[in-house]
Amino acid sequence: MSQKDGPLSSCRVLDLTDEKGLFCGKMLVDLGADVIKIEPPGGDPCRNVGPFYRDIPDPEKSLYWLSFNTGKRGITLNIEVSDGRRIFRQLVERADIVIESYEPGYLDSLGLGYSDLSQINPGLILTSISPFGETGPYKDFKASDIVVMALSGYMSLSGDPDRPPVRTSFPIAYCFGAAGAAAGTMIAYYHRELTGEGQWVDASAQQAVASALLNARMHWDLNRVELKRAGPYRVGLSAQGKQLINFRCKDGYVNFVMFGGKTGAKTNRGLTQWMESEGMGSDFMNEIDWDSFDMARVSQDDFDRFEGDIERFFLTRTKSELYEEGSKRGVTIYPISTIRDVFEDPQLEARDFWQRVEHPELDATLLYPGPFVKCSQTQLRPPSRAPRIGEHNQEIYHNELGMSPEELVMLRQAKAI
Amino acid sequence: MTSKEVFHDVKVVDFTWAGAGPITTKYLADYGATVVRIESRSRPGLLRTTPPYKDGIPGVDRAAYFGIYNPNKYGMTINMNHSQGMELVKRLIAWADVVAESFTVGVMEKWGLSYEEITKIKPDVIMIRTNMQGHTGPHCRLPGTGVNLVGISGYAHLCGWPDRLPSNPYGPYTDTIAPRFGAAMLIAALDYRRKTGKGQLIDVSQFEAGVNFIAPVMMDYFVNGRVANRRGNYSPRAAPHNAYRCKGQDTWCVIAVFTEEEWKAFCEAVGSPDWTKDERFSFFLGRKAHEPELDCFVEEWTLNRTAEEVMALMQAKGVAAGVVETSADLHRDPQLKHRNHFWVMDHRELGSFSYFGQAAVLSGTPAQPRMPSPCLGEHNEHVCREILEMSEAEFDELLVEGVFD
Amino acid sequence: MDEQRQGPLSPCRVLDLTDEKGFLCGRILADLGADVIKIEPPAGDPCRNIGPFYHDIPDPEKSLYWFAYNANKRGITLNIESDDGRGLLSKLVEKAHFVIESFPPGYMDSLGLGYAQLSQMNPAIILTSITPFGQTGPYSRYNASDIVEMATCGLMYLCGDPDRPPVRITFPQAYLHGGADAAVQTLVAHYYRETSGCGQWVDLSIQQAAFMTTFNASWFWELNKINLKRAGAWRTGLTSGVLQRQIWPCKDGYINMPVYGGVLGARTNRLLAEWMDREGMSDDFLRGIDWDNFDMGQLTQEAWSKIEELMVRFFKSHTKEELYSEALRLNIMVYPVSTPKDIAENEQLDSREFWLQIDHPELGETITYPGPAVRASLTPMLVRKRAPHIGEHNEEVYGELGFSRDDLIVLKQSGVV
């Protein structure tokens, strides 16, 4: 096996997901699997999600679709008709993994649930991704990104206190869910490689997002304290107050988190000296012995005061000035990058993070994020173009399954592909 | 107030014969145009001498085939070889907005009535000429009828059974294609003329019009090199899809099942017998692969029912089905009755006769039956006296001269 | 001159909501110069799944059926089942001259888009509704397809071999008759509107349009109580005597030559007999026939069989091409039974420059189409462009209504277009 092929290079995945799981398939592609995206005959409805290439709303120009389906092959198939289900079963015989994100029970109702599929292929791994899981009181709830962000506890911790809780503007709940599903799939795959046994992976987006809340939940569990949203402030470190972590600067915002004691001493001292050397020193900060600084003993008034001093200093400098000079001085100041900043980030650039992908149908080359991790022995696959609607119908149906052109025409006319 | 007879101000001199030509001018006549047919007693024209005849007795005024395409039109007989006959014809042309003809190439020219010559009489005239293969090209002079054309335009090849000789569809099939395109162009040209004062020449090759109804078949040949063939009643989009024998002598009903939903409904309609649960029939490709066997099962069921029952049972479940209607069925068809498809008018020789109307109901200006088809030369006097406003003496002179053939 | 090249209907706009039951109507209006806007559901018209397909690739942008009958039209997507969609349609109707549709009777009414409502938006509008059996009546809600129309219009009963079921023409015709007739009826209404200012509703029945294909057959019943029957390669309905044979096998296919009696057939019959004689394929009986007085009605079966036998042998010794060339030279009525290949190679069509080359840049080539069905000296029917892609003219058309690209993205994502 070539090192370039990736660890999953002998693995075939049938990807029946929608927005709730596209990213899972993509991660498996990056790991080297042959992922076949299965769409309904007219194309997946997700292709109507923007933004669009040059703002042209067209199912082959959705940048959302293009990002989350890199490297997959694409076929059309209608599993709601008998002919479609027959073909699907034939494909399952030759597959290792099936990922799907239908409503719980839907595949069962079509005779394509785990018990059915495992009879066709005992080693099959079926990964089902849903908002709340395949069972339980919420399993049939209608969901969307904002609903999952709310029910996972994430939203209650985000946003300004004097305004409603807020979600991340670009929907990420399903990315969490899908990534969690990918991890679960890999675990099942590892087990299969050892034992030959397949299994059913039941991934919940709500759980995936809730796991990202770090220690917030423990404040309730241990101390019955409900953390609240605090905008640019940070809560949950000190029982006493909130700590500003997002500061305005000359051309945007930067993130500076102050830690107490030995953890923060170097950076805190560095900042204090820097401010002083620029003639914008803070009397309060100059007085502090940073090595023994205890955040728990600082009053809210004091926090406010030296945070004000810090912000006044930051306002005289740009994000990149603060970032670069801060690095040199050992002060951990990070830019709050805009999309453009991310794009121009020298670190990402140095690691060849951005990859160019040809789009002959657009007569353009687009830049995509590269693989999510680097490994020394097994390279992850660089991204390649997402499939057009039905792009690989011929390859799969004709070349692999041996169907004739006449049969394909009949299947199209019967709305099966 | 505008007359509800749409073409009340349109005047047509109609030299057409056989099917395609008169069908074209019938569109204008049914909607109110004044159409004057020019015929000849010595050469009465094919349809006046083709059965069926009233009571089976031949006669130029007893032929249904002529009658059905010519209600709402006047009929004259004029000897075109007589100099005064030709004068009369030219006078009619001067009166007309439209001149229509469907002779073989050269006939109008022989009479000095080519488009160029007619425009000298009436500069803004619209002339519509319809024939088998057009007025130009190496084959344009070959005589023939629509029945010949069906073969050369591909329709015979595409009708019938793959293991048998081609079947000609009934009659001069392409005669039902060209008139629709011709009439569309004619009405557009009339509208254009009303706005600009300009007439023009419309040239209809029935061959070319006919090929337009098999355009995808031709493109399949050009693009894919495929020579399509007849395949009985099969369709690549549906199964079951055939004509099934029903109870009685030579009675049939067609059934057409396209989608999975329709298949389920069909199975219900036939009472869900065991064969409908056969795995081979449970999916579309399976039904296609075993179509002859499937058809046998279906026909076992239809044989016990009349065609009308089969249609009703299927339609009740939302499955497309229809009686293969015989001529008798057509005259009894309740839907055609509802649409007043047949116009009954009294004709001197044909008696109480069913003409047929237009396929559409226009909410404001529907087509109307105004008068039955003309007997030969029936309106010689009417046209001369009432339409051309000739005096009695003038008309009598023409009569005496033998102008009215 | 320019105006003429644009076509007689060039100032008119047509909103084309038809499916296969009415494509040809819009196509004819477009060929006459109207601006026909094909309106499809957001995912594209399901009739794009009708074959044959370009290179047998079943793809909604490769259907040759779609290409043929939607050439010359522009294309937009619109979901008229949504309130927003209906709002957009109303705006379009205000500026349109024709609306053509082929939905089941009552459907447009149920959406508030029936003639009563459309004529309130635009009193001069002409609405042409094309349905299998008409808007009202006992069959008006029946499901139909091509074979059902061909059966119920009476043509099928008259076609095919007597010892087999009635047969339809293999390539579906009924909807083309309906569409073409609808175009004529629409123009009648248009002619009336141009002087009166009044629009109206054109209610077309495909069954009635297709009825025309039975010619005089049903009058054998009305006048003589004879139910004509199918006769395969023979001709029914001329005489009560010997059946007239129409189709004859030849060396490489078939020819079409009905034997006519009397004046009509005399010349052809005589010259054909002489030709057969020249090739030594005649006999005394044939040589002795007086063709000027040859009466099929009086012919005995025995006499006919003799003639037929000689002709069969003669035709079988020649190809289609040989027989037709000589027929042209002699000017007699002997015609080939053309296959599509024969039609493509037909000299007459070629010399009249019948075939058009239409550019398909998306396929990287031009495709050959049949040319206009009729020719006109001043305002010819012109085929200006290929059929539209899905949503190809959304920007253009909705732009006229004042919608920006951003608006279109919103409309696309919410399923309105």
B175 is catalytic: yes
Residues 212-231 of C with CB under 8 A from B: 212-224, 226-230
Q: Are residues A326 and A293 in the same domain?
A: yes
A102 min Cα distance to partner chain C (Å): 20
Rg of chain A in Å (alpha carbons): 26
Q: Using the 3D structure, point to which of A342, A362, A395 is the last residue of a domain.
A: A342
Q: Are residues B355 and B258 in the same domain?
A: no
C208 min Cα distance to partner chain A (Å): 28
Position A238 pLDDT exceeds 50: yes
CB pairs under 8 A between A and C: 57
Q: Using the 3D structure, point to which of B327, B361, B391 is the last residue of a domain.
A: B327
Give the pLDDT mean for C161-190. Answer: 97
Q: Are residues B129 and B20 in the same domain?
A: yes
State how far the Cα of A75 lies from the Cα of A53, in Å rounded to an integer: 22
Q: Are residues A198 and A128 in the same domain?
A: yes
Question: What interface predicted TM-score (ipTM) does this complex get?
Answer: 0.96
Residue in chain B lying closest to A416 (CA): B284
Beta strands in B123-165 (DSSP E): 126-131
Identify the CA nearest to C36 among candidates C383, C403, C417, C409: C383
Question: What is the residue-averaged pLDDT of chain C?
Answer: 94
Identify the CA nearest to C100 among candidates C123, C124, C127: C127
In a domain, A201, yes or no: yes
Confidence band for A188, pLDDT divided at 50, 70 and 90: very high
Please give the share of chain B, as a percent, with pLDDT higher than 90: 94
Give the pLDDT mean for B135-141. Answer: 94
Give the pLDDT mean for B111-118. Answer: 97
Q: Using the 3D structure, point to which of B264, B293, B327 is the last residue of a domain.
A: B327
Residues 272-291 of B with CB under 8 A from A: 282-285, 288
CB contact under 8 A, C60 and A42: yes
**How far is residue B344 CA from its own chain's centroid?**
19
A164 DSSP β-pair partners: none
pLDDT at C25: 98
- Summarize pLDDT for A111-138 with one digit per residue, the tens: 999 999 999 999 999 999 999 999 999 9
**Helices then strands, each counted (H, E), chain C:** 18, 14
Confidence band for A1, pLDDT divided at 50, 70 and 90: very low
pLDDT at A3: 47
Confidence band for B391, pLDDT divided at 50, 70 and 90: very high
Mutate to test the interface with C, among A39, A47, A48 (most CBs of C within 10 A): A48
Bond into C52 cis (ω within 30): yes
| CATH for C230-344 (3.30.1540.10, 1.10.8.420, 1.25.40.10, 2.40.50.140) | 3.30.1540.10
In a domain, A219, yes or no: no
Q: Are residues B248 and B277 in the same domain?
A: yes
CB contact under 8 A, B161 and C167: yes
Give me B20's structure tokens. 């395609």
Position C51 pLDDT exceeds 80: yes
In a domain, B225, yes or no: no
Q: Are residues A16 and A156 in the same domain?
A: yes
Residue in chain A lying closest to C362 (CA): A361
Q: Which residue has the higher pLDDT, C35 or C303?
A: C35
Looking at chain A, which subunits does it touch, using at least 3 CB pairs closer than 8 Å as the criterion?
B, C
A346 min Cα distance to partner chain B (Å): 53
- Summarize pLDDT for A58-78 with one digit per residue, the tens: 999 999 999 999 999 999 999
Q: Which backbone phi and psi does B7 adopt, to 5 degrees?
A: -100, 35
Q: Are residues B248 and B305 in the same domain?
A: yes
State how far the Cα of A39 lies from the Cα of A16, in Å rounded to an integer: 7
- Chain B contact for C11 (CB, 8 A cutoff): no
Residue in chain C lying closest to A53 (CA): C409
Q: Are residues B311 and B379 in the same domain?
A: no
Q: Using the 3D structure, point to which of A342, A363, A378 is the last residue of a domain.
A: A342
Q: Are residues A47 and A144 in the same domain?
A: yes
Question: What is the residue-averaged pLDDT of chain A?
Answer: 91
Q: Are residues A203 and A261 in the same domain?
A: no
pLDDT at A2: 44
Any idea what the CATH number is for the domain that residue A267 is in? 3.30.1540.10
In a domain, B246, yes or no: yes
Q: Are residues A33 and A176 in the same domain?
A: yes
Q: Are residues B144 and B118 in the same domain?
A: yes
Q: Looking at residue B237, what DSSP letter applies?
A: T
In a domain, A197, yes or no: yes
DSSP string, B116-133: HHHHHH-TT-EEEEEESS
Q: Which long-range contacts (CB under 8 A, 24 or more apart) does B78-85 make?
A: B78/B38, B78/B39, B78/B40, B78/B380, B78/B403, B78/B404, B78/B405, B79/B40, B79/B402, B79/B403, B79/B404, B79/B405, B80/B38, B80/B40, B80/B111, B82/B401, B82/B402, B82/B403, B82/B405, B84/B398, B84/B401, B84/B403, B85/B403, B85/B405
Q: Are residues A389 and A272 in the same domain?
A: no
Q: Are residues A166 and A19 in the same domain?
A: yes
Any idea what the CATH number is for the domain that residue B191 is in? 3.40.50.10540
- Chain A contact for B161 (CB, 8 A cutoff): no
- Summarize pLDDT for A400-410 with one digit per residue, the tens: 999 999 999 99
B4 min Cα distance to partner chain C (Å): 8
Position C375 pLDDT exceeds 90: yes
In a domain, B223, yes or no: no
Residue B54 belongs to domain spanning: 11-213+339-401
In a domain, B132, yes or no: yes
For tokens 């423990």, what's the residue? A218
pLDDT at A128: 97
Give the pLDDT mean for B305-316. Answer: 97
User: Which residues of A lie inside 8 Å of C (Cβ-Cβ)?
Assistant: 41-43, 48-52, 55-59, 389-390, 393-394, 405-406, 408-409, 411-413, 415, 417
- Summarize pLDDT for C99-113 with one digit per residue, the tens: 999 999 999 999 999
C403 DSSP β-pair partners: none
State how far the Cα of C279 lies from the Cα of C294, in Å rounded to an integer: 23
**Which of helix, strand or coil describes residue A193?**
helix
In a domain, A305, yes or no: yes
- Given a contact cutoff of 8 angstroms between Cβ atoms, the answer to whether A194 and A205 are in contact is no
Confidence band for C244, pLDDT divided at 50, 70 and 90: confident
In a domain, A221, yes or no: no
Give the pLDDT mean for C315-326. Answer: 96
- Of B68, B238, B358, which has the smallest distance from its Cβ to C219's Cβ? B68
What pTM did the predictor assign?
0.91
Q: Are residues A337 and A399 in the same domain?
A: no
CB contact under 8 A, C368 and B218: yes
Instruction: Tell which CATH architecture fits domain C2-213+355-413.
Output: 3-Layer(aba) Sandwich (3.40)
**Which of helix, strand or coil describes residue A282?**
coil
Q: Using the 3D structure, point to which of B327, B355, B386 is the last residue of a domain.
A: B327
Bond into C258 cis (ω within 30): no
CB contact under 8 A, B236 and A406: yes
Residue in chain C lying closest to B246 (CA): C165
Query: Structural domain tally of chain A?
Result: 2
DSSP string, B255-313: EE--SHHHHHHHHHHTT--GGGG-GGGSSHHHHHHTHHHHHHHHHHHHTTS-HHHHHHH
- Summarize pLDDT for C340-357 with one digit per residue, the tens: 999 999 999 999 999 999
Confidence band for B2, pLDDT divided at 50, 70 and 90: low
Min mean pLDDT across A69-78, A288-297, B271-280, C107-116 is at A288-297
Q: Are residues A136 and A46 in the same domain?
A: yes
- Chain A contact for B237 (CB, 8 A cutoff): yes
Query: Structural domain tally of chain B?
Result: 2
In a domain, A222, yes or no: no
- Summarize pLDDT for C252-301 with one digit per residue, the tens: 999 999 888 778 889 999 999 999 999 999 999 999 999 988 887 778 88
Give me A64's structure tokens. 């959302």
Confidence band for C1, pLDDT divided at 50, 70 and 90: very low
Residues 93-132 of C with CB under 8 A from A: none
A202 min Cα distance to partner chain C (Å): 29
Q: Where are the domains of chain C?
A: 2-213+355-413, 230-344
Q: Are residues A94 and A128 in the same domain?
A: yes
**Which of helix, strand or coil describes residue A389?**
coil
- Summarize pLDDT for B30-58 with one digit per residue, the tens: 999 999 999 999 888 889 988 899 999 99
pLDDT at C232: 87
Residue A313 belongs to domain spanning: 229-342
Position B221 pLDDT exceeds 70: yes
In a domain, B27, yes or no: yes
Q: Which helix (H) or strand (E) holds C347?
A: helix C347-351
Please give the share of chain C, as a percent, with pLDDT higher than 70: 97
Neighboring chain C residues of A413 at a CB cutoff of 8 Å: 49-51, 58
Give the angle B6-B9-B12 at the CA atoms, nearest 5°: 100
Position B184 pLDDT exceeds 80: yes
Q: Which helix (H) or strand (E) holds A334?
A: strand A333-335
A387 min Cα distance to partner chain B (Å): 26
Neighboring chain B residues of C164 at a CB cutoff of 8 Å: 161, 164, 232
Looking at chain C, which subunits does it touch, using at least 3 CB pairs closer than 8 Å as the criterion?
A, B
In a domain, A217, yes or no: no
pLDDT at A296: 77
Neighboring chain C residues of B253 at a CB cutoff of 8 Å: 151
Give the pLDDT mean for C366-385. Answer: 94
Task: Indicate which residue of B61, B97, B175, B405 is catalytic.
Answer: B175
State how far the Cα of C392 lies from the Cα of C377, in Å rounded to an integer: 32
Min mean pLDDT across A241-245, B165-169, B342-346, C110-114 is at A241-245
In a domain, B285, yes or no: yes
pLDDT at C5: 64
Any idea what the CATH number is for the domain that residue A16 is in? 3.40.50.10540
Residue in chain C lying closest to B308 (CA): C152
Q: Are residues A75 and A182 in the same domain?
A: yes
For tokens 């000739």, what's the residue? B390
CB contact under 8 A, C256 and B150: yes
